[in-house]
Amino acid sequence: MKIREIASGLQFPEGPVAMSDGSVVLVEIARGTLSRVTPDGHIHVLATLGGGPNGAAIGPDGAVYICNNGGFSYTSNPGGCLRPIGQADDYSGGRIERVNLATGRIDRLFDEADGLTLRGPNDLVFDAHGGFYFTDLGKVREQDMDRGGLFYAMPGAQGAHAVAHPTMTPNGVAISPDGQTLYYSETEGARLWAFDVTGPGEVCKLPWPSPQGARLVAASPGGHYQRFDSMAVDAFGNLLVATLLHGGITVISPDGYHCSHWPLPDQFTTNLCFGGQDLRTIYVTLSGSGRLIAIDGWPVPGLPLCFNA
């Protein structure tokens, strides 16, 4: 496998989406933008959203849907690594937004679900029915933090409904190749959870002692002091989880019995997506150092998303 740097100077990039023209559309959380990175590394701002655009996905209408967390405050670690440390002083509220790539128009779709105010929407994934699951990680403040949730919405709907709430720091969200399993990653506990899907936006829940009705797939492989962020799925159904602090990609089999870790040179490896003609290129956001890299020749191709552009 070959690792190459595509772009640097990004402001805490996240939510990469591989486009058919070879570019990568992503968010820059600290800059408050949706941006496009061309194959030669040039960065073009597509929309200025403000707050903290955190996750991005192409919907069935070809637009980009955005999870906006409302904004972080940041500090710099030794070596210039940018690190979010909590809710921004100018926090503007969590919301789901839509960007028309053809016109640049930004629509604010909703900022609550089932009467719950969204605090820190983080990541989203579309299913084959055209709806999308998204996580709300919540926000951290000096003396307290929110409990988050997992939600579902249809494009054009006036809002969303809760799939699981409350949950602790839900971050990445993904769907199995057969569409029958919904996964989400828990940041603070570095745990991977799964629900059996029974219908669009509906899941089967386990009884107590499961804290939210999900089954535990894997818990903190590789030791302490790591966190789970967003993820992608390969063609065999393995989960590739961007891993914080250890810095890299943790690969977990669907049954949780097999785990491996691929280290990368950034403690804040936050997200990844598959691209290229054979879906064997992984695009990874190294957010602390503000870089987008590509890993060519990944041994297992990625799972095609339900919608892309």
Contact 192, 144 (CB under 8 A): no
Q: What is the pLDDT of residue 309?
A: 72
Burial status of residue 194 (CB atoms within 10 A of its CB: 0-12, 13-18, 19 or more): buried
CA atoms 171, 177, 182, 188: torsion sign: negative
Spans of the chain below 50 pLDDT:
none
Distance CA 119, CA 21 (A): 34
Q: What is the pLDDT of residue 281?
A: 98
CATH code for residues 2-220? 2.120.10.30
Distance CA 305, CA 309 (A): 10
Q: Which residue has the tokens 């790539």?
A: 101
> pLDDT digits over 193-247, tens only?
999 999 999 999 999 999 999 999 999 765 567 899 999 999 999 999 999 998 9
Measure Cα distances from 98 to 70, 103, 301 in Å.
15, 12, 29
Q: What is the pLDDT of residue 277?
A: 87
Q: What is the pLDDT of residue 224?
A: 63
Q: How many residues does the chain have?
A: 309
The pTM of this model reads 0.96
Q: What is the pLDDT of residue 233?
A: 98
Nearest to 271 by CA among 7, 10, 13: 13
Burial status of residue 299 (CB atoms within 10 A of its CB: 0-12, 13-18, 19 or more): exposed
Q: What is the pLDDT of residue 279?
A: 97
Q: Tell me the β-bridge partners of 245.
A: none
